[in-house]
Amino acid sequence: MFKIAIVTSLVGLFVMIFISENIEVLMVKIGNINEEMLGEKVNINGVVNSKRDLPGIVILNVSDDTGSIKVVAYKKNKKILVKKNDNVDVEGLVRDYEGELEVMAEMINKY
């Protein structure tokens, strides 16, 4: 019985890893982000309008031709090397913070 439980657990773990690597991230325009997307992973492209460096986090305001949104990123022992007017590609989760939608960044790349 113990062997069956171990094998089942390992198979389930491998399936979860495979699925998580193959989940497609939704590419969206900022103006199309809405409450129905809460908790979803999205990818946005835009221009950094402002940057606030705080202890442990960076808050960006990113806009495209459809709107703007706050992007929050934890520093995690690394600097976030973007500045005002940089073009960025952001991947992260849509969340609500005090009644406003924002993206909690998992990845930020300049392009």
Rounded CA separation 102/83 (Å): 19
Work out the mean pLDDT of the chain and round it to a whole number.
90
pLDDT bin (cut points 50, 70, 90) of residue 107 is: very high
- 67 DSSP β-pair partners: 64
The pTM of this model reads 0.77
- 2 DSSP β-pair partners: none
What is the number of other CB atoms lying within 10 angstroms of the CB of residue 61?
17
- 57 DSSP β-pair partners: 54, 74
